[in-house]
Chain A
Amino acid sequence: MAQDLQPGSIIIPDWHQCAESKDFFSRILYKKKRKQFGLLESPAMAPQAAVDTVQYKVFLSGKNGVGKTSLAARLAGLRIPSMHYETTGIETIVLYWPVKLRESGRVLFFRLQLWDCGENALRRFDHLLPSCKEQVDAVLFLFSFTDRTSFDDLPNQIARWSGPSDRVVKMVVGTKFDLFMHSDVTQREVRQFQETQGLPVLCTGGEVSDGLGDVANFLNGLAERLWHQDCMAATLDRRPTQCREGALI
């Protein structure tokens, strides 16, 4: 169902550039950089302008060194590690992202928790993967443009998530797109893959400017699919979408 989704059909795509969004985006910025939120914090709006928050758990899957930790940092506006230090357990990153729904004009804060676990740690310790899968809402399958095997392994990885996990948004992310000079994977192969698997593929990489533009497309796309999945689920089993919403403190 996800592949039928037209980008921008649910969420207004370039909303961060509109003047009216400024008040919302200013809540996730500090001195023009993305603000860090501890678990006890959240972006606070003025009481009369209170906005609902919806929470999702997103798991990053991919081979050792493809750039899971870097992607999480990039999306949350944190410092991207310049060296590859293996992630030797699970690390999660929380980020907030305001969106405007096209139909109702309603504004929501998406609270995305990205779950990142080093591939070697996953292999060495059996209890980590089940923990990552617990109540997960989306999986991002990462491959790196500079690592052919990570691309070839994708069908395998995706297969492991088929079956009971039909309530999971699945997307593919190509990392290190900036290193196209050393690319091991061609654009054509990516297009082909996209068609056969029926999964959306996003590409990231390169320098980050401080702005929101780098990640807006990515986060809106992810948010849109998560929201869509919830709406579908709600119409199927009348599960109220409200169950994700938490009041802001």
Chain B
Amino acid sequence: MMLQDGSTQILCLTAQSGVPLFSRGASKQLPFSVIGSLNGVHMFGDGQGVALSGCQTDCGGRVVWRVFHDSVMLIAVNGGHRSGGVVQGHVKGEELFLERLLENVWNCMVLVLGRDELTGMKNVERLKKDLRSCFGLIDQLLEDGHRGVMGNLTHCADCLLPPDPALVQEAVDGFTRSVDSEFGCLVVRGRIAAATEKWWRLAPQEVVLLSALMRTLSASGSASCDYPVFLPQGSPTVAHRLLRFQLLPGADVCVLCGPAPTLHKAQSDLVRQFWSPLAETLRDCLAVGERCLPAAVILRAPEILALLVVNREARRSVSCVRAGADDSPALPSRPRCWELLRLFYVFAVTRYFGQEEAPAPGAPAEEGADSRSGASGDFVAGLSHQPLQCYLVTEECKCYGLQTPQHQLFLLCPLSVPTFALRNVATQTLSAVTADTGF
């Protein structure tokens, strides 16, 4: 592969004629001839009545294709990891990762431009120009992985559990009503700290995507926004308004609403009224920091490198890495912990657990797509039962996965933790996170 180790590139072409529309990711772009060939093999398959969905090169590179609404083809190309290892060499897993990425990228395009614009294809040159407006969000998705965001992969919203959830919930509900909306959410450090009931009923992909948009907007440091957004599932052809207000740096509230009120009005009349009394509560939320869990949740910190807890039904997750004080250089770095956590998640769900599948966008009721990424691989297919726990010992860490009807836990521990103790640490961690918080 001509890509750097581990880097991913996204290519977008018109599905009919293979005209390149854009490419993102990876500092070094693939040569035009390679892009042409990637499109070519897919077209060839098409001609033979075969849908080419993915392939692997002999040195671990991977390509995944997907056509959306017969109009846009997205290709994800991953350079592969030379550093190998059990977790990484896992075929199904890499594919899941890339498939999710393509789906997210398509959703980004719909969110910004609307579906009609993308499927109409009246003027390719104009579309090419218009698509530039999606680059900010697409690049954010490509970079999110490095910033400890799991939702793009899990399609479960990244959450932060506030110390006083009732107070912020009430404020979010009240503020949302005041702008004549039912969809509102409070985002702290890029994670959802509270949201209205309706917000949680948006498609999981939308919740995750809106969170990514909020992260982008929040990072720019702007005080407020009024963004037209299409909802890839709920409203792909009619734009809504996403109003966002930066209450404190790092704490943003947003609502989806109709034509009224104007940004000016909402901001000058409503924001202070609802949120001024909560300034201290918001500061407490900010203080929760990267741990994402309130101080009341006590973890066996030295034994935990990273954790991800998924609430399966609510499709929410909390995650953190290296929350303990131990900064020993012998342990994997924080970015590496995030990477390992993602890899282990993919490994565990594709092999053992299976992940809850939200209806896939794009092709209407595509037969192959859901079953392919939904259920687990061949290994589990041979089992007569559903695995509840799994573990894996690698050169860098020990991993333990645990699932109950309600939750999934993915845990990384340092090598110093004896393998026989993993299960104990895992069950205790899961109950510590979920018991008092109601997560």
Interface residues of A (CB under 8 A from B): 36-41, 57, 69, 72-73, 76, 78-79, 81, 85-86, 88-94, 113, 116, 118, 120-121, 124-125, 127-128, 130-131, 134-135, 249
Residue from A36, A41, A125, A131 within 8 A of B262 (CB atoms): A131
The 0/1 profile, CB within 8 Å of A marked 1, for residues 312-341 of chain B is 000000000000000000000000000000
Residues on A with C-beta less than 8 A from B198 are none
Task: Determine whether the beta carbon of A135 is less than 8 Å from that of B264.
Answer: yes
Chain B count of residues within 8 A CB distance of the other chain: 38
A135 to B135, CA, bound (A): 32
Task: Determine whether the beta carbon of B276 is less than 8 Å from that of A88.
Answer: no
Lowest 4 CB-CB distances: which A-B pairs, in order?
A: A89-B227, A85-B136, A38-B248, A94-B223
Residues on A with C-beta less than 8 A from B221 are 36, 73, 76, 78-79, 93
Is residue B267 within 8 Å, beta carbon to beta carbon, of the partner chain? yes
The 0/1 profile, CB within 8 Å of A marked 1, for residues 232-245 of chain B is 00000001011001
Residue from B227, B263, B264 within 8 A of A88 (CB atoms): B227
Q: Given A125-B239, A127-B259, A131-B263, verify A38-B223 contact (CB < 8 Å).
A: yes
A52 → chain B closest CB, angstroms: 18
Is residue B271 within 8 Å, beta carbon to beta carbon, of the partner chain? yes
Can you list 26 contacts pairing A with B, beta carbon distance less than 8 Å? A36-B221, A38-B246, A39-B223, A39-B224, A39-B246, A40-B247, A40-B276, A40-B282, A41-B248, A73-B221, A76-B221, A89-B225, A89-B226, A89-B228, A90-B227, A91-B220, A92-B225, A113-B223, A118-B133, A121-B228, A124-B228, A127-B241, A131-B226, A131-B264, A135-B264, A249-B276
A86 to B245, CA, bound (A): 20
Residues on B with C-beta less than 8 A from A116 are 222
Task: Determine whether the beta carbon of B263 is less than 8 Å from that of A39.
Answer: no
Task: Determine whether the beta carbon of B226 is less than 8 Å from that of A39.
Answer: no
Residue from A41, A76, A85, A90 within 8 A of B135 (CB atoms): A85
Q: Given A86-B132, A120-B133, verify A93-B226 contact (CB < 8 Å).
A: no
Task: Determine whether the beta carbon of B227 is less than 8 Å from that of A40.
Answer: no
Query: Chain A: which residue is nearest B275 at the CB level?
Result: A40
Is residue B45 within 8 Å, beta carbon to beta carbon, of the partner chain? no
Is residue B98 within 8 Å, beta carbon to beta carbon, of the partner chain? no
Q: Given A85-B135, A91-B225, verify A39-B264 contact (CB < 8 Å).
A: no
A43 to B262, CA, bound (A): 26
A193 → chain B closest CB, angstroms: 29
Task: Determine whether the beta carbon of B228 is less than 8 Å from that of A92.
Answer: no
Residues on B with C-beta less than 8 A from A90 are 225-227, 263
Can you name 10 extra interface pairs (CB under 8 A) apart from A38-B248, A91-B220, A125-B239?
A37-B249, A39-B223, A39-B246, A39-B272, A86-B135, A88-B228, A90-B225, A92-B267, A93-B221, A124-B228
B425 → chain A closest CB, angstroms: 39
Task: Determine whether the beta carbon of A92 is less than 8 Å from that of B133.
Answer: no
Most chain A beta carbons < 10 A, residue from B227, B242, B249, B276: B227
Residues on A with C-beta less than 8 A from B228 are 88-89, 121, 124-125, 128
Residues on B with C-beta less than 8 A from A41 are 248
Q: Report B130-145 residues with CB < 8 Å from chain A CB.
A: 130, 132-133, 135-136, 139
Is residue B217 within 8 Å, beta carbon to beta carbon, of the partner chain? yes
A36 → chain B closest CB, angstroms: 5
Task: Determine whether the beta carbon of A38 is less than 8 Å from that of B263.
Answer: no
Query: Chain A: which residue is nearest B136 at the CB level?
Result: A85
A75 → chain B closest CB, angstroms: 12
B171 → chain A closest CB, angstroms: 12
Task: Determine whether the beta carbon of B267 is less than 8 Å from that of A39.
Answer: yes
Is residue B422 within 8 Å, beta carbon to beta carbon, of the partner chain? no
A41 to B130, CA, bound (A): 37
Task: Determine whether the beta carbon of B264 is less than 8 Å from that of A134.
Answer: yes
A36 to B221, CA, bound (A): 7
Residues on A with C-beta less than 8 A from B248 are 38, 40-41
A242 to B120, CA, bound (A): 53
A213 → chain B closest CB, angstroms: 21
Query: Chain A: which residue is nearest B219 at the CB level?
Result: A79
Q: Report B200-237 residues with CB < 8 Å from chain A CB.
A: 217, 220-228
Task: Determine whether the beta carbon of A38 is less than 8 Å from that of B276.
Answer: no
A130 to B262, CA, bound (A): 9
Task: Determine whether the beta carbon of B224 is less than 8 Å from that of A92.
Answer: yes
Residues on B with C-beta less than 8 A from A89 are 225-228, 242
Task: Determine whether the beta carbon of A78 is less than 8 Å from that of B247.
Answer: no
Is residue B63 within 8 Å, beta carbon to beta carbon, of the partner chain? no
B149 → chain A closest CB, angstroms: 18
A42 to B239, CA, bound (A): 34
Task: Determine whether the beta carbon of B247 is less than 8 Å from that of A38.
Answer: yes
B15 → chain A closest CB, angstroms: 24
B247 → chain A closest CB, angstroms: 5
Residues on B with C-beta less than 8 A from A113 are 223
A88 to B224, CA, bound (A): 13
A116 to B221, CA, bound (A): 13
Residues on A with C-beta less than 8 A from B247 are 38-40
A194 → chain B closest CB, angstroms: 31
A136 → chain B closest CB, angstroms: 9
Query: Chain B: which residue is nearest A76 at the CB level?
Result: B221
Task: Determine whether the beta carbon of B220 is less than 8 Å from that of A40.
Answer: no
B190 → chain A closest CB, angstroms: 15
Q: Given A86-B133, A88-B133, A120-B133, verify A40-B272 contact (CB < 8 Å).
A: yes
A125 to B226, CA, bound (A): 11
A91 to B245, CA, bound (A): 10
Query: Chain B: which residue is nearest A72 at the CB level?
Result: B222
Residues on A with C-beta less than 8 A from B220 are 69, 73, 78, 81, 91
Is residue B102 within 8 Å, beta carbon to beta carbon, of the partner chain? no
A206 → chain B closest CB, angstroms: 20
Residues on A with C-beta less than 8 A from B132 are 86
